[in-house]
Structure 1
Amino acid sequence: MPFPVAPYSTFPILLRSPLLRPGLTAAILATACAVLAQPAAADEKPLWEAGMGVGGLVMPDYRGSSQSRAYALPMPYFVYRGEFLKADRNGVRGTLLDTDRVELNISGAASLPVNSDKNDARQGMTDLKPTVEVGPSLDVNLWRTTDHRTKLDLRLPVRAAFTVESSPKSLGWVFSPRLNLDVEDVAGFNGWNLGLLAGPLFQSRRYNDYFYSVAPQYAAAGRPAYQAGGGYAGTQVLSSLSKRFKSTWVGAFVRWDTLKGAAFEDSPLVRRDQYLAAGLAVAWVLGESSKKVEWDY
């Protein structure tokens, strides 16, 4: 739910947090061939950087909701450039395999809770709990420039999903293959980083059942009973822009989401089949390590 996003891509750990996806993620529709390139010399950067920031988001209650809300959230800024654990503008991940072209990472995502009493489509139904997702992601570099400032990757994350409550409930799985294009110093503007992400979502029956089924006891006028199935869950396209100044980081994102053709598109809880979400954040870097590491991401 990138700075977001997404669930799914979301502010460095400001978080590229799919805290921002009641469902997120995704970027540019394109085709590419792998091209051999000589790696550029890595820069030396602090092992870690830490700070604090604030972000503003406008997002729907859940994917398909006709109601959106604005959120103002305190957000931690944390970058860690370890050999195994990494936290940067590509998200938080643990690297299980790292070659010149392929990485096997651990990825995660989350979604916000929904108060059904404040959502017209869900009036009288149980609230939606916040969810978390975790699982492996196979990331393949398809193309990059010799200086590594522009890269096109194929990312294949598969995550198990759970509700966040006293007795967590398994929601099955989410698979969100996507193409990710990162461009540093975009259009010649030093320090400005552009991210473009696009791809489809596939979700298990249990996941879709949690968000989009209507049990018979909750059926009402204009909201018939409905049983959601698993499968294709729509497509997301996301664009983000960020820059790190001397002691300040700023970032913004916009995400387009479509549910056309989704397995649950005809659910009475789906009131809109496409929408935009957006966010803006600023963070202040309060400290960094004296230890430097080579970094070419």
Structure 2
Amino acid sequence: MTLCPSLLRTSLALALLLATAGAQAAEDKPLWELGVGAGVLQLPHYRGSDQSHTWLLPVPYIVYRGDIFKADRNGARALLVDVDRFSVDVSVSASTPTRSRDNVAREGMPDLKPTIEIGPNLNWTLGRGADWKLELRLPVRAAVTVASQPRVAGWITTPNLNLDLRSGPWNIGVLGGPVFGNRKLHGFFYDVAPAYATAARPAYQASGGYAGSTLAAALSQREGARWIGAFVKYDRLSGAAFEDSPLVRQRQQWSFGIAVSWVLAASEQRVSVNE
């Protein structure tokens, strides 16, 4: 188990752990809340890897309920359009770095740099009730490497159905759908250049298109100053455009995490919100 101080990995943990939201009646809440805690994540080195890593990391609790800029159980975002059942905001995700010396499939290859993914996200509310909301989400993101000279690693889209509901004190979220990426992004993760080919790892060039599917579930609970959240995620790569890459060692994989935070400060100003 490794202590992980990296802001990128902390942001990734927050994106995963705060991905659940529960629909409920409007109520007055502080404009902002701040807290701190700790979490544990187990993630594969990359989608399709047969090796994983466990991260122990700090988990800040940050909530901001502004009219445009928001940071809550749906992640940090800017609400650009909000009309009836449609809204457009900013989708953000990330990938962790992988040192090739720690990964058997990539031994001798350049390290995989971490990426930040950002782009627009269209949300269409298909139905809602007092304790639930079903949305179709259509995010399109550019992946940019986190390096001294950042570069665009490619594009990804993850259309999904997202169900948020509240059961007693628990907020529960379930989402699932296909994943698509362009040739450049798939090459970033799954290409094997001739210079790095071996008898056991032939040269390979990935193509763009279907990249498998994903299903995730998360739950969280706020009780007084304490917040607890957990998630589990399933990835399936069967039928992916890069399925035959020698770097794909596993076509089904799981990742999960859990975190606990305590709210230490909150604004006196309150706003009416639906969360």
Same-fold call, TM > 0.5?
A: yes
Instruction: Say whether the 8 Å CA contact 2:15–2:93 is kept in structure 1.
Output: no
SS at match of 2:188: helix
Tell me the secondary structure at the aligned position of residue 263 of structure 1: coil
Alignment of 1:1-297 (within 5 A): 15-17=14-16, 42-145=26-129, 147=130, 149-184=131-166, 186=167, 189=168, 191-297=169-275
Deviation at 1:221? 1.9
Which residue identity is paired with 1:16? A
Percent same amino acid at aligned positions? 52
SS at match of 1:62: coil
Q: 1:230 to 1:208 in 2, by over 3 A?
A: same
List alignment gaps of at least 5 residues for structure 1: 1-9, 27-38
1:106 deviation in Å?
1.1
Separation (CA, whole Å) in 2 of partners of 1:60 and 1:276: 8
- Normalised by the size of structure 1, how large is the TM-score? 0.85
Distance 1:227 1:75, change over 3 A: same
The alignment yields a C-alpha RMSD, in angstroms, of 2.2
Q: Aligned with 1:252: secondary structure?
A: strand
CA deviation map 1:125-173 (0-9, x unaligned): 000011001110001110001x2x2000011000111101011121121
Task: Check the 8 A contact 1:249/1:285 in 2, yes or no.
Answer: yes
> TM-score normalized by structure 2?
0.92
Higher strand share: 2
1:45-102 Cα distance to aligned partner (Å, 9 max, x none): 1111111111101111000000011110112110111000111111111011012211
Count the aligned residue pairs: 265
The code of the aligned residue for 1:114 comes to T
- The answer (yes or no) to whether the contact 1:54–1:75 under 8 Å persists in 2 is yes
- Asked if the contact 1:196/1:240 (under 8 Å) is kept, the reply is yes
User: What is the identity, as a one-letter code, of the residue corresponding to 2:162?
Assistant: N
